Chain A
Amino acid sequence: MFIEESLSSILQKSNPYPCLALLESGLISYKESEHKTIPQELLKDFACIYGKELADDAIKCLVNLEAIEENEIGLLINDEASNIISSWLNQLKRNLLLTLNNNEESIEEFVVKLISYLKENTSCTVSYKSVENLDFIINSDGKNYSIQAALSPVWLPAVAEDASVQNTFIALIGPFAAQNWHHMIKYYAHPQFRNYTSYYDPWHCQKMNISRGSLLTYFDWFYRDVYGLKFFIPDTFSLALQNMGLLRYNDER
């Protein structure tokens, strides 16, 4: 039987992120995928990002906790536990701490400041899909943006196609650079992914974004104006884009 308190054992692990990523993926898949199961491709990415051993461990751990269960189609979040897991993850997410230019603040504070910066500096309108989930829908210049805080980069491809159909740009904010986010670069070969999604990691001052959502310029400006910091683009990202033929390196570098 699933017991809410048992979730806290995840946080005792030396690296809790595989479990958190799996829970987050499970919740997304529960809503987005046909049989509510986590897609096999996502699980493969999951294993690549965290390593097979840690990934298998996480699956085992969450199945033991009965947060996740396995049916004939695949892994899925425990139906009864889904709401509890969702609010537990949200709580966790909101409290994640950031140190920006020697000031500590939570990601919740960061995102809230970002949203009010956008409101102040653009003529966008903000609607809240879920405040406790730090998930905002913004309309600017006729385009929709979904700005979300997240724990893991792994599940973004699962929502990219929908985003492109709905003409909505997704900006994920989270501690991604430390979680092998480079593995996700291969998805930039898909127009839906590269045109509609972006990753921002304020912990590491890095971003991966080649979409043309012009509101996203203000992310950089917000970071600059409020914290005096700059989002850099990781070299591996630009190199990979070059390999895909999306950008060219000038070998004079």
Chain B
Amino acid sequence: MIYTADKIGKYKGADVIAEYMLKEKIPYMLGYAGHGAIGLLDSFYDKQDQVKIVWPRIETAAGFMADAYFRITGVPLPVYVSTGPGPALSACAVANAYYDSSAFLLITGQVTTDQFDSGALQEPYRHYPADYPSVIRTYVKHSFQATTVNQISQFLPKAFKLMQTGRPGPVHLEVPYDIYQTEGETVIPDPEGWTDAISWRTGAEPASINAILKKLIEAKRPLILAGNGVHVSGAREELLKFAEYMNIPVYTSLMGKGAVPDSHPLHLGVCGCWGHYPAVEAARNADVILALGCRFSDLHTASWQPGFAYNIPATKLIQIDIDPGEIARNYPVDIGVVGDIKTVLNQLIEKAETDGIKGDYKTWFDELAGYKKEWNDFVAPFEVSDETPIDPRRLIADIRKAAPKDAIMFSDVGNNQPWIEQYWRSDVPGTHFTAGGFAAMGFGVCGVLGAKLARPETTCINVCGDGGFMMMPHAVATAVQYNLPAVWVIMNNYAIGAIRDLQRFYFGGRQIGTNFETYEGTKYYDGELWNPDFAAMARSMGGDGVRVEKPADIAPAVEAAIKSNRPTVIDAIINRDTAVPLTSTWQMPPIPPALPTFGQIKIR
């Protein structure tokens, strides 16, 4: 027994959770009730001053909000759901957090311990009693099922430790609802004795630090790649310091976007299927890449086809990641380091400064300047395009102009995501968020509310598609309920655009099941494009709503939305036939890869 006797008291299972959340100084608990959750909620009844209960209109939304909250604050929130459908609906959000190294504590109810294997209402029982842990296990760092009060005390600090140390991820705690109500002797553990006492930010061995610096100094065309690990590790300052000291250009993955200020002279942009040309061109020409917390996913690497985005192993890869599983997963490494990005960067800075090591990469910079110019020349006219329907680039450029510098941007999933990837610029690092790994639609629509919970004073904007918005339109009602004045800009193209584009470009233009249209005849293509009136929907939920069809109306609409400090939906009708420029590629085997639409084609 790990606890000291003098702290033992009698608590109901649900009280243990509530008391522990106070000790963790958790400000919000999100979720959605059912008969499997009310026992838990009851213990928070008298604690609502300290832990506010926020419940959006579906479990998935609660998970997305908690996920977003963690990305911004590093604080994992509890998300309560009932049994059966509630846990099932939350699974998507759990996975979304897991893939992007974000975290929250999913607390599911379960049938009572004496009903295990009875098939009582909503019990997952047909393979194994009370078996939700088997459902969720692929999407969590760990799944706990408590069958005594004391186990809750034991599991909670372990759960918080797991979520916050090493590579973050969601954790699951399941409590049969009799255990919420049963009293047991236990001790409410102290977080200080757990997570706070653990030193997990491991560094690299000195020999590796020397080897990395040597490789970078010898390189003629070095790059630093910032992945999501830079954000998660809180290493943005260290990254900039090291890059500036060494004078090495930096590019990012989609998830790493915003690791350095966009206008920083060393910054090249994002590399990926819809990345920035300077970053993609640099990546395939680099001789050494120092990758920090990056998974080298298919969308980032042109599905690993040489020549499009990368030429590894010709390019030497140095990969630093806290998760050894991600090192050399897809590309062989020259040097691999299992370590915390922040710590390793600090080691590199210290060693470089002590030894007076600095790089000189003049030719490289000349080349990069050329790539940058080519790309900027290409982009500039679209950002001021007066065309109707609105060019998505103009839409984003005008949102940018109207929004404060430090505005937080959530894209959703679909074309809106790469549009934001390519055209949203911010000089305030750590203000761009998106679901890159599991890529669940609706994350941005709900996540923006989690952001607003975390940063009430900051403008929080979600750019989403009409598809993604309609998965979670109730987010507006939640915003009104809790006074979370977020701004949603819908890129309305009457389609699940990203998938329609795959049909346009990979399936010979045969569009089926991807346009929002009335279904009048016998074929998918003989109806008319149709969507609900999103602005009116927003108003019916107590928010503001406006439809924008002309480019000139974008900026005033965004300004008004921000100024009103009311939840606002801007329904922007965009050109549905403009595809996001491909600077690299993505493949869905066996269909051959598409060629880049910008930049000299690189096939090899």
Contact = CB atoms under 8 A, between A and B. Distances in A.
A233 B308 CA distance: 13
A215 B367 CA distance: 22
Contact of A250 (B306, B311, B594, B603): B594
Contact of B591 (A212, A221, A248, A251): A248
B285 A247 contact: no
A199 B595 CA distance: 20
Interface in A126-179: 141
A241 B604 CA distance: 12
Contacts of A249: 594-595
A14 interface: no
Contacts of A233: 600-603
A165 to B, nearest CB: 22
B307 A217 contact: yes
A238 B595 contact: yes
B579 interface: yes
A85 B578 CA distance: 58
A246 to B, nearest CB: 5
Contacts of A241: 592, 603
A216 interface: yes
Interface string B546-582: 0000000000000000000000000000000011011
B50 interface: no
A78 B184 CA distance: 102
A4 interface: no
B595 A141 contact: no
Contact of B314 (A221, A225, A232, A248): A221
Contacts of A247: 592-595, 603
A210 B592 CA distance: 13
Given A141-B313, A252-B579, A217 B597 contact: no
Contact of B594 (A212, A218, A230, A248): A248
A218 B314 contact: yes
Nearest to A211: B604
A224 interface: yes
A215 B287 CA distance: 13
How extensive is the interface on chain B, given as a class?
20 to 34
Contacts of A216: 604
A217 B306 contact: yes
A225 B505 contact: no
B506 interface: yes
- Chain A interface bracket (under 10, 10 to 19, 20 to 34, 35 or more): 20 to 34
A25 to B, nearest CB: 27
A225 B600 CA distance: 18
B142 interface: no
B597 A248 contact: no
B220 interface: yes
B603 A210 contact: yes
A252 B594 CA distance: 11
A246 B579 CA distance: 22
Contacts of A211: 604
A72 to B, nearest CB: 44
A97 B602 CA distance: 27
A96 B601 CA distance: 29
Given A217-B307, A225-B220, A238-B603, A250 B314 contact: no
A131 B578 CA distance: 54
Interface in B257-314: 285, 287, 306-307, 311, 313-314
A121 B314 CA distance: 9
Interface string A207-229: 00111101111100100110000
Given A242-B595, A247-B593, A210 B314 contact: no
17 contacts: A121-B287, A209-B603, A210-B603, A210-B604, A212-B604, A214-B311, A216-B604, A217-B307, A217-B315, A221-B314, A224-B367, A233-B600, A248-B505, A248-B591, A249-B595, A250-B505, A251-B505
Interface of B: 220, 285, 287, 306-307, 311, 313-315, 367, 504-506, 578-579, 581-582, 591-595, 597, 600-604
Interface of A: 121-122, 141, 209-212, 214-218, 221, 224-225, 230, 232-233, 238, 241-242, 245-253
Given A233-B600, A251-B505, 8 more contacts: A221-B285, A233-B603, A238-B601, A247-B603, A248-B594, A252-B579, A252-B597, A253-B595
